[in-house]
Structure 1
């Protein structure tokens, strides 16, 4: 009986270690000026640097677009999901800093790595 239990546990561990889990999904969006709806190029997009989804600060392209890669990891790294920051920040000189909370905007089905599309994100000019 013990042998069967050991074999079952071993197979369970092997099966889980090979499967990958979504730690965080990819995120994309388009930064626009709140007043005239024109794209805001060279805006900075970032998260808290101590979170497990930290990445180098991204800069929006000439059309205001940005894309952040998602991450899948094996089971032993699933605990990294606890340190994922749901808050993304957008900064641009002459504009107010904007915080976007990405938590629960889209749930992945079957633990699939999906892209969360934030659509147009308006930045207000600072005074």
Structure 2
């Protein structure tokens, strides 16, 4: 990383989880890297019109025979609460529900269907922390 950043006139974007806690910036080389890069921390998506629009966009991509348009859009508040506003968790939840309804033949997602989908580990951890 250091070699490329010194020799190539380009902008590099590196992404990861808990980079600082996992030693990227530790030691002599880590301090050198830290001196050349900025960290931009991400946060969960706020529950705004943009969230509802995101849910709507994901819903429009579904190709389910009996799914009613705007069902998920109407559940945007629930989906935000369930996923903590994390886009990856939202995608995982909707994709899991879609697979379930294709397999059971109903081909429509409801709140009950969504409640039956286990969330990813990160979303489960966030939910446990906010409930405490």
Q: Same fold (TM over 0.5)?
A: no
| Category of TM-score, reference length = shorter chain | under 0.3
TM normalised by structure 1 equals 0.23
Greater RCO between the two (CA within 8 Å, min separation 6)?
A: 1
Structure with higher strand content: 1
TM-score by length of 2: 0.22
Structure ranking higher in helix proportion: 2
